[in-house]
């Protein structure tokens, strides 16, 4: 942080505390503000992120006893009119500060090297770096480089659940890194590959900041019959050739429930999808449907009578080429 910022910014006002605030009250106030304006709680809110940066900068300085003392000294000088400005006509600049060390020496007083060391140590104390960096410069710790306490790191975990559990939801128990069990509520409708975040359950902050999270990655085992498309459940239902030609009422299974009856219209082709409203995945976002895709099954075993009957049908069926339209489109 540049020296001019320390003159211009009132960190006590930023945090809403008095100058004599205790360390405990300062920390309590900062944590309350940090929770309110934390970027994770205000996704996409630039104003909240800027405010979080501002309060973190203020707390970074005031929570450190040495920096707070330096800040108070600099602000006191600022109240007397001292400013670190560029040289030139009318610039008070460093002369105003140096005059503090030359008082009582009379006009034309000279400064030895010790005087300058005392002055610069006030702004660059214990750093050995250049002016404007280290303790007096931009804070180096904190969340996203904003200063202030560091957020604890996240802990990752994985779990594999069955298809029915993923659609209905369930509370399961996992084992943490320390060997201790912890519970995770799997919400209804969780998808394969989805992550569940348990806020404040991760590693603690090394310096009094927010605790990290536990992030659980979920893998869902495939089901032998059903697949998911969002909140809809989908399955393939075989029908006979005669059912497709003449129409029929068929039974279709539902996930973990009773079967439902569907009407297959006469002349139904393979690939047609029949919809059962409200028999998909139920979640906080809504309820999906059950989609049954019809597939005409070709018989693999025919007796002589059936074969003779099909042969007679072949001689009688319309002489239409079902691939004619396909070939025309391909050539065109």
**Banded pLDDT at 4 (limits 50, 70, 90):** low
User: Whole-model pTM?
Assistant: 0.52
Kindly report, residue by residue over 108-143, the tens digit of the pLDDT: 444 444 444 444 444 444 344 433 333 333 444 454
What are the φ/ψ torsions at residue 327 (nearest 5 degrees)?
A: -65, -40
Question: Is the CATH number 2.60.260.20 carried by domain 227-331?
Answer: yes
Q: Report the topology of domain 3-145.
A: Helix Hairpins (1.10.287)
**Banded pLDDT at 278 (limits 50, 70, 90):** very high
Kindly report, residue by residue over 37-64, the tens digit of the pLDDT: 887 778 778 888 888 888 888 888 888 8
Listed in order, the ranges of the chain carrying CATH 2.60.260.20 are: 155-220, 227-331
Q: In degrees, to the nearest 5, what angle opens at C-alpha 231 toward C-alphas 228 and 235?
A: 35
List all residues 6 or more positions away from 294 whose beta carbon is below 8 Å from its beta carbon.
Answer: 237, 239, 244, 264, 268, 269, 270, 271, 272, 273, 274
Structure tokens at 322: 């079902």
Average pLDDT on 198-218 reads 89
List all residues 6 or more positions away from 248 whose beta carbon is below 8 Å from its beta carbon.
Answer: 239, 240, 242, 263, 264
**Banded pLDDT at 189 (limits 50, 70, 90):** very high
CATH number attached to the domain at 155-220: 2.60.260.20
8 Å CB contact between 84 and 3:
yes
Q: Is the pLDDT of residue 90 over 50?
A: no
CA distance 298 to 296: 7
Listed in order, the ranges of the chain carrying CATH 1.10.287.110 are: 3-145
């Amino acid at each position: 942080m540049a020296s001019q910022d320390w003159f211009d910014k009132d960190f006590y006002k930023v945090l809403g505390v008095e100058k004599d605030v205790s360390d405990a009250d300062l920390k309590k106030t900062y944590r309350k503000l940090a929770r309110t304006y934390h970027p994770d709680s205000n996704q996409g809110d630039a104003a909240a992120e800027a405010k979080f940066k501002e309060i973190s900068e203020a707390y970074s300085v005031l929570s450190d006893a040495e920096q707070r003392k330096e800040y108070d000294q600099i602000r006191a000088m600022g109240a007397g009119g001292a400013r670190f400005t560029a040289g030139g006509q009318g610039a008070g600049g460093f002369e105003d500060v140096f005059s503090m060390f030359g008082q009582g020496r009379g006009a034309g007083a000279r400064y030895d090297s010790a005087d300058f060391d005392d002055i610069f140590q006030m702004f660059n104390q214990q750093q050995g770096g250049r002016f404007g960096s280290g303790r007096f410069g931009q804070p180096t710790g904190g969340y996203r480089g904003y200063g202030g306490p560091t957020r604890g790191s996240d802990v990752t975990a994985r779990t594999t659940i069955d298809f029915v559990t993923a659609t209905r939801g369930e509370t399961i128990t996992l084992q943490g890194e320390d060997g201790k069990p912890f519970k995770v509520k799997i919400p209804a409708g969780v998808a394969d590959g989805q992550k569940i975040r348990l806020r404040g359950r991760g590693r603690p902050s090394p310096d009094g900041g927010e605790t990290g999270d536990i992030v659980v990655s979920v893998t869902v085992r495939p089901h032998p019959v059903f697949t998911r498309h969002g909140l809809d459940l989908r399955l393939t239902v075989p029908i006979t050739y005669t059912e497709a030609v003449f129409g029929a009422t068929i039974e279709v299974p539902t996930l973990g429930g009773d079967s439902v009856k569907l009407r297959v219209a006469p002349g139904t082709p393979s690939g047609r999808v029949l919809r059962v409203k409200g028999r998909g995945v139920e979640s906080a976002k809504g309820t999906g449907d059950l989609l049954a895709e019809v597939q005409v099954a070709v018989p693999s075993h025919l007796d002589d009578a059936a074969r003779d009957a099909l042969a007679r049908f072949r001689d009688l069926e319309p002489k239409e080429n079902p691939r004619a339209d396909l070939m025309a489109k391909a050539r065109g």
